[in-house]
Amino acid sequence: MCSDCDADDGFMIPLIDLLNHDHDSCHVVVQAIKAESTQNSEQKQKSGVEVVVESPCSPGGQILYSYGAKGNLALLRAYGFCQFENPHETVRVTMPQSLQPNPSSSSDTQSASFEISHLDPIPEALFEAAQDACKDSPGTGGE
């Protein structure tokens, strides 16, 4: 796995940004090269970046890089693309206390919040709340 795959800050580096994204199968990591000061100015190393291959690539195959475990909005904002069937794409659903299946009598209870991915089943508490809300709503056939 890439050492910096989950970094939150995104930036593009010319030529390196041509590598295709695959969070789970990346082959390379980009590392910063810091300039070192030496007494002899002819041997001064310049700063920059280097691409290091961390896992084998097939001859003639793509070299893949991970832009991070990000949902499509983050990928679009930082890098200008979205990933079809992105496993990191989630939706946050917040359910007020009044719609929770077993509301607490305490008034300080917070709303329930769920992160839902297209890969995961709908949480049972959210499913039950939706069923209860439909039963109580006029015109939904739950009367």
Model pLDDT for residues 10-27, shown as the tens digit of each residue: 667 778 778 888 888 878
Residue 7: pLDDT above 50? Answer: no
Per-residue pLDDT at 137: 58
Per-residue pLDDT at 84: 85
Residue 5: pLDDT above 50? Answer: no
Q: How far apart are CA 111 and CA 89, in angstroms?
A: 22
Considering only 29-33, 68-72, 130-134, which range has the smallest mean pLDDT?
A: 130-134
User: Phi and psi (nearest 5°) for 109?
Assistant: -70, 135
Q: Please check whether residue 72 is in contact with residue 90, taking contact to mean a CB–CB distance below 8 angstroms.
A: no
* Residue 86: partners with Cβ closer than 8 Å, 6 or more residues away: 71, 72, 75
Q: Is the pTM of this model over 0.75?
A: no
Per-residue pLDDT at 47: 80
Q: Rg of the chain's alpha carbons, rounded to an integer? A: 24
Q: Please check whether residue 93 is in contact with residue 114, taking contact to mean a CB–CB distance below 8 angstroms.
A: yes
